[in-house]
A and B are shown apart, each in its own frame.
Chain A
């Protein structure tokens, strides 16, 4: 089996599994308790906090552990909105292709009276810092732009956007769930005030993540209760999960350069090979993209049937087709970069693991070609396109 859906989730690393299982037995104490068992848990927790902080250039006290990326996104945005509201600033800038954890939080804030501007992500899936600057108003309290897109993998000019926000005195949040562990991040140099991350995207466990909040940025609780996490996130800490996250992050980030070199070479090989399928197109910028991300549209076929047949060939991938999500519309990300519905339904996302080989890459190319050709063979759209009754879009 070739697992090429690492943007959806990653397999836990052996070290993370070992850490987690060992701690389930050893560090079962409540980190808030005074006796030895509790203190052992506390120690593990604070070590994890320091390790996580070091990877992104933060102070340990700037790291808040959460239940994952969604919670971190919700808390970051709600906190900035609350700070804005106190000053009468109720305008937020974001982008049309954020993860739903961001978009749905913004929709809720809109109902509460906030005004939301969603920036154009352009055909290449890249935000333009000057357009962020132009969108900032006197009443803007937050700019939130994802570090790297989860579907098309495009990497945003985060440092430049951060600089614009700093200059204008506006808080800057980035959903870095797809980037942490895979791309170099330095929250200070990158001018980031708030950053969200999720362990299961870098070989840690599911249900664990963290929020970086720059010292001085006051957070609003989503969960009230005990005084854990400096009083900003109540609930007895998931110590084994958090420690496993730190372990996975150290490992993945430690091998970042090597991983990225290998993955991007295979990514480019895959892009090259799939581009040779007629009437196909790469989604998102070819260069400014995550090392393991490949996303294509193939005209005349539908994504779910493509995925099922690839699964039969032992390849796990995903699609932005409506049919795979049970919704009526295809991926909002593909629509945001200007793909029309007809074509967006025929999308394929392959997100490679660190251990991808050339042989596997070539097998994927061969398999995708076969399946696309097969499905086109009995597609009424393809017949109309090739008969000249309809115009090709791609």
Chain B
């Protein structure tokens, strides 16, 4: 199927960092079942660094691939860098997404931002 790039298919078929972090200190969930996409990001932030990240996704191929790629992009990164992650960066790292699938990459960006907000709320630490 040439709908998706090889990269997308690779991340869809072999998603990285799938699952749950039981003691996550930053959790973000976006989307809803009505629209057909839900993405949940679990982050373990230690010393201002993303020490671990996992995801769960209900959604189409590009939603799963975007989640997977986003976790790879932020793993081991300082939170201030993670704040700057854009959906474009996720889509580019996947060698592009069809136009009508771009919202899937937006979900990944939003889920991660929500997780950072959650972290700020839990710890009182502000991330620029």
Which residues in A have some Cβ–Cβ distance to B below 8 Å?
300-305, 308-309, 311-312, 321-324, 326, 328, 330, 340-342, 345, 378-383
Task: Give the shortest distance, in Å, between A305 (CB) and chain B (any CB).
Answer: 5
B34, B56, B61: which contacts A305 (Cβ < 8 A)?
B61
Does A323 contact B19, Cβ atoms closer than 8 Å?
Answer: no
Of A305, A379, A381, the residue contacting B60 (CB under 8 A) is A305
The answer to whether A308 and B12 have CB atoms under 8 Å apart is yes
Q: A308-B1, A308-B12, A312-B13 are in contact. Are A378 and B56 (CB under 8 A)?
A: yes
Chain B residues numbered 55-80 whose CB sits less than 8 Å from any CB in chain A: 55-61, 63-64
Q: Could you jot down 16 A-B contacts, CB within 8 Å?
A: A302-B58, A308-B1, A324-B60, A341-B35, A345-B33, A345-B36, A378-B18, A378-B55, A379-B58, A380-B38, A380-B56, A380-B57, A380-B58, A381-B33, A382-B58, A383-B20
Q: Are B1 and A311 in contact (CB under 8 A)?
A: yes
B1 touches A323 (CB 8 A): no
Residues of B within 8 A of A342 (CB): 33-34
Inter-chain CA distance A312–B13, complex, in Å, is: 9
- Minimum Cβ distance to chain B for residue A1 (Å): 13
Distance, CA A321 to CA B101, complexed state (A): 14
Q: Are B36 and A302 in contact (CB under 8 A)?
A: yes
Option from B29, B57, B61 in Cβ contact (under 8 Å) with A308: B61
- Beyond the given A312-B13, A324-B60, A378-B57, please list 14 additional residue pairs across the A-B interface where CB-CB is below 8 A: A305-B60, A311-B1, A321-B60, A326-B100, A328-B35, A341-B36, A342-B34, A345-B33, A378-B18, A379-B56, A379-B57, A380-B29, A381-B33, A382-B58
Question: Do A341 and B33 touch across chains, with their CB atoms under 8 A apart?
Answer: yes
A interface SS class: helix
> Which residues from chain B contact A321 at a C-beta distance below 8 Å?
36, 60
- A17 to B61 CA separation, bound complex (whole angstroms): 36
User: What 1/0 mask marks residues of chain B from 18 to 46 whose CB sits below 8 Å from any chain A CB?
Assistant: 11100000000100011111111000000
The one of A302, A311, A330, A383 in contact with B56, judged by C-beta atoms closer than 8 angstroms, is A383
Which partner residue on chain A sits nearest B39 by CB separation? A380
Q: Is B96 close to A, CB under 8 A?
A: no
Q: Given A312-B13, A342-B33, A345-B33: A304 and B38 within 8 A (CB)?
A: no
Most buried by A among B20, B37, B63, B64: B64
Q: Which residues in B have their C-beta under 8 angstroms from that of A309? A: 13
Q: Which residues of B contact A301 (CB under 8 A)?
A: 58
What is the distance, in angstroms, from A295's C-beta to the closest C-beta of chain B?
Answer: 17
Residue of A308, A312, A322 near B36 (CB, 8 A) is A322
B residues near A381, Cβ cutoff 8 Å: 33, 38, 58
How long is the Cα–Cα vector from A322 to B33 in the complex, in angstroms? 11
Complex Cα distance A342/B33, Å?
5
Which A-B residue pairs are the 3 nearest by beta carbons?
Answer: A323-B60, A304-B60, A342-B33
Q: Indicate which residue in A323, A340, A341, A382 contacts B59 across the interface (CB closer than 8 Å).
A: A323
List residues of chain B with CB within 8 A of the CB of A341: 33-36
Q: Which of B1, B9, B35 has the most CB of A within 10 A?
A: B35
CA distance A309 to B33 in the complex (A): 20
Task: State whether A302 touches B37 (Cβ < 8 A).
Answer: yes
In whole Å, how far is A209's beta carbon from the nearest beta carbon of chain B? 28
Q: Which residues of A contact B36 (CB under 8 A)?
A: 302, 321-323, 330, 341, 345
Q: How far is the CA of A38 from the CA of B13 in the complex (A)?
A: 56
Q: How far is the CB of B62 from chain A (nearest CB, A)?
A: 8
The distance from the CB of A373 to the nearest CB of chain B, in whole angstroms, is: 14
- Complex Cα distance, B34 from A255, in Å, reads 43
Taken together as a complex, chains A and B put the C-alpha atoms of A302 and B18 apart, in Å, by 17
> By CB atoms of chain B within 10 A, which of A322, A323, A341 has the most?
A323
Cβ-closest chain B residue relative to A328: B35
Which residues of chain A are near B100, meaning CB under 8 Å?
326
A51, chain B: closest CB distance, angstroms: 37
A323 to B100: give the CA distance in the assembly, Å: 9
Q: How far is the CB of A203 from chain B (nearest CB, A)?
A: 24
In the bound complex, CA of A322 to CA of B101 (Å): 11
CB distance from A335 to the nearest CB of B (A): 11
A330 / chain B contacts, CB cutoff of 8 Å: 36
Alpha-carbon distance A385/B74, docked complex (angstroms): 29
A328 to chain B: which residues have CB within 8 Å?
35
Give A309 to B1 CA distance when docked, in angstroms.
11
Known: A300-B58, A304-B60. A378 touches B33 (CB 8 A): no
| Chain B residues, Cβ within 8 Å of A382 | 58
Alpha-carbon distance between A379 and B12 when the two chains are bound, in angstroms: 14
Partner of B61 from the list A304, A345, A378, A380 (CB cut-off 8 Å) is A304
